[in-house]
Structure 1
Amino acid sequence: MTAPALVLDFGGPVLLTPFELVRDGAGTPAWSLLHERGPLATAEHPDPAWESLQAGRITERDYWDERAAEWHRSGGHGPDIRSMIAHLYEPARPALVREGARTLVRDAHAAGMRVGILSNDLGHFHKDEWIEQIEIVGEVDVVVDGSVEGFLKPHPRLYELLSERLDVAFADMVFLDDQATNIRGAEVLGIPSVWFDVTDPDTSFASVRDLLGLPAEDRDG
């Protein structure tokens, strides 16, 4: 019997989101664009573009390209997405990675499971040198990056490439992603999936552990 495989989206489940990282003061471009936006938007301060992304009316790249353009128009860094991302994510540092993701990867490997990262924009958003310094990327068995492969989630070919490289059937994967459209794409293929709630990471990680048959995380160990 094939052991299940853990599959993680990178931005969100593994890496803290830009919405969580923004630390510029009120009135700066970063604050105006990212504070209480995306998954952290509220009923009083909604983010219609994020809602369109979750509904599948626009792509994730559409969303971030528009944020980068707004950033540039409002006096931020250069107009490309990498300039905005670099402002928040450089230098590479351990604090950018969720501890719950580190523990989940470690425990999955200890249980004999293969682990993959399935990202749309790892190489599109970040420089190679930065990626090399994020240790968890080197600790997984397979990385499939849509910006390299020419397909983006929820295109089925990207999930197929992951299945082939992990040598695990769709039904034997457990997939964690913070974008509803990517979850829908995985579920159509029969991949057991968990939507990652940025506002409640612990519950999302616990749901993945349950599907994989892993014990609850030991927070005292």
Structure 2
Amino acid sequence: MSAAAARRRPALLIDLGGVLVHDKLPAASAKWAARLDISERDFVTAVYAGNDTEVLVGRMSGAEWWSVVRQRLGLTEGQLAEVRADLVAHPVWDRTLLDAVAALRGRAAVAFVSNAWPDARPNLGEVLETADVTVLSCEVGFAKPDPRIYTHTLDLLGVAAQDALFVDDMAPNVAAARALGMSAHQHTDRASTLDVLDAFAARLPASRTS
């Protein structure tokens, strides 16, 4: 197979949090806003403000960033542990979507592309086996919608942008993928994303068997 032909391999690049993993932030924000007598916006700001240039791209460790969060919210050690558990422990997967992604293996390259803090990978467990590669912002040093995280992933998979479908729940991330030439879908609900994945699968070659 020629190099040009190899780069015609189709690929799916898909987000984790908010797409394949249930977003715990709304429930955690409501809980802790009530407990700390602050607004939900203030809670979100305390946890995430500035993270995109620090912990999200690996310039701070997870422990260092959680120390910042503790100071911002005035938490005890026990409360901080509870906040962490509410936000990141025991991820809840959308198994229907995950099964649809797994069904593409062997017919298309599959990559998880996530803006994530250090120590995220261990929480993913055996689900990592669903993808050919998993690209985390904290490990590569740039986060969506930075074009470099997309091109880095495409290079790892050995595919061209025009042969890739990107799925994410954030509009700026979807727009950045489209600007690079990828097809892209903004995830808002399971049904519409399943429709997109089904349409993508219908255009793929049959799975190879030995």
TM > 0.5 fold call = yes
Tell which structure's C-alpha radius of gyration is larger: 2
Q: Say whether 1:158 aligns with 2:154.
A: no
Query: 2:165 & 2:76 partners in 1: Cα distance?
Result: 38
Corresponding residue for 1:129?
122
Corresponding residue for 1:138?
129
The Cα offsets for residues 91-129 of structure 1, whole Å up to 9 and x where unpaired, read as x36xx111132112221115x2111011121xx164553
Query: 2:199 & 2:161 partners in 1: Cα distance?
Result: 17
Name the CA shift for 1:155/1:18 in 2 (closer, same or farther; >3 Å): same
1:203 to 192, 200, 207: 192
Question: How many percent of aligned residue pairs carry the same amino acid?
Answer: 22
Query: 1:178 & 1:141 partners in 2: Cα distance?
Result: 21
The Cα offsets for residues 62-112 of structure 1, whole Å up to 9 and x where unpaired, read as 8x99xx87886556566xx9974433332x36xx111132112221115x2
Query: 1:17 & 1:194 partners in 2: Cα distance?
Result: 18
1:185 to 176, 179, 189: 176
Q: Say whether 1:117 aligns with 2:117.
A: no
Query: 1:28 & 1:141 partners in 2: Cα distance?
Result: 42
Q: Say whether 1:5 aligns with 2:4.
A: no
Query: 2:190 & 2:169 partners in 1: Cα distance?
Result: 10
Name the CA shift for 1:209/1:70 in 2 (closer, same or farther; >3 Å): same
Q: Which runs of 5+ in 2 are unaligned?
A: 57-65, 205-210
Provide the TM-score with structure 1 as the length reference: 0.65
Q: Which runs of 5+ in 1 are unaligned?
A: 39-48, 50-57, 216-221
Provide the TM-score with structure 2 as the length reference: 0.68
Corresponding residue for 2:25?
19
Query: 1:30 & 1:106 partners in 2: Cα distance?
Result: 43
CA RMSD of aligned residues (A): 3.7
Does the Cα contact within 8 Å between 1:4 and 1:212 map onto a contact in 2? no
